[in-house]
Copies of this chain bind each other. A is one copy, B any other.
Amino acid sequence: MVRTRVHNLFVSSDGYAAGDYVTFEKPIGDAGALFSRFDGRVIDGIHGIDGTGDPVTADHAMFSMWGQGIGAEIMGRRKFGPQTGPWPDDGWEGWWGEAPPFRTPVYVLTHYPRESIEFDNGTSFHFVDAAPDEALRLARSAAQGLDVRLGGGPSTVSEFLQADLVDFLHLIIIPVVLGAGVRIWDDLAGVEDRFTVESVSTSSGLTHQLWNRIPRG
């Protein structure tokens, strides 16, 4: 009865949701434009911009759903770091420094399991070689009755959509044309039949789409 939720998934006009060529220097690859209107300060609430003169916008209200009632996250390996293959002994603990914003258990999907990493703020990373349904089982059990956030990247979201494991998807259409990157819609023809979709456009030029899985059975 809890939900598996995707938040703040920006998609370009030509259907890309991340850049290619992720490196240590470029965590999102060649796709900076995708996130140019994102505001990470409000993912845990609109008060994240207190102390600035910035107005609270409708985009902020939509972004701020990210942290609401989440008990665990699942992410693909490339969201955690740019390495591929066996993990190098490089001390890498993710992009986020001493206080990753997740503050819950996070399950990182990888074919190369390694030891968990724990932070003082409640974030812990667990590395699992698991299919989507198995990863979701683990995350749900860790979430203690709260929802599970599927944190991306887009390949991971796409896999979970193909396996019909997504209950809620907050997708944001941004009018930029990337020309290349990681596609979100491959092998998903007709996926909209399983969802209701509400679209809301804001004055920034973004269109927020709320995809809700139609109740099963």
Contacts and interface: CB of A to CB of B under 8 A. Distances in A.
A53 B215 CA distance: 6
A1 B55 CA distance: 13
Interface in A104-160: 146-147
Contacts of A48: 69
A13 interface: no
The oligomer's copy count stands at 2
Interface size bracket, A side: 35 or more
B62 A64 contact: no
Interface stretch (A20-28, A94-102, A171-179, A197-205): A197-205
A1 B50 CA distance: 6
Contact of A51 (B1, B62, B200): B1
B2 A200 contact: no
6 contacts: A1-B50, A44-B68, A47-B70, A53-B215, A61-B62, A200-B200
Interface of A: 1-3, 44-48, 50-51, 53, 55-58, 61-62, 64-65, 68-70, 146-147, 168, 196, 198-203, 208, 210, 212, 215
